[in-house]
Amino acid sequence: MTVLESLRVAFRALAANKLRAALTMLGIIIGVAAVIALMSAGEGVSTFIAEQFQAVGTNLLFVVPGSLSDASAGGPMAMTAGGAELTNSDAEALRDPLRAPDVALVAPQVRNVTVVA
């Protein structure tokens, strides 16, 4: 069977089953559109998250009390549950240009986590 003969058979089958051919094309079109929509949504979310991280800035450093072993045991909030604390004197030490010459700004914060039952 030649290529030309195969094409003739295919077109005859399409002409004989117009509804089936139309529904098949519609299914393919809807499937491709769904894949494109999902890929676009995923790319948009990825861009949004990257922009949020960039908004924080690459020149910022957050200092929290605790150790790495505390953080790995229970997540970031586990670091604040331990006995280690940062005080105002720690913030003042970071403000001192002789002790920390590359620090431009220090903004101490107080955070408290409470469980309401």
Give the model's confidence band at 81: pLDDT under 50 very low, under 70 low, under 90 confident, else very high. low
Check residue 64 and give its pLDDT: 79
Cα–Cα distance for residue pair 20/23, rounded to 1 Å? 5
Give the tens place of pLDDT for each residue, 14-50.
899 999 999 999 999 999 999 999 999 999 999 999 8
Task: Assess contact for 65 and 82: CB atoms under 8 A.
Answer: yes
Check residue 41 and give its pLDDT: 97
Task: Assess contact for 111 and 80: CB atoms under 8 A.
Answer: yes
Question: Does position 73 have pLDDT exceeding 60, yes or no?
Answer: no
Check residue 76 and give its pLDDT: 53
Cα–Cα distance for residue pair 105/108, rounded to 1 Å? 10
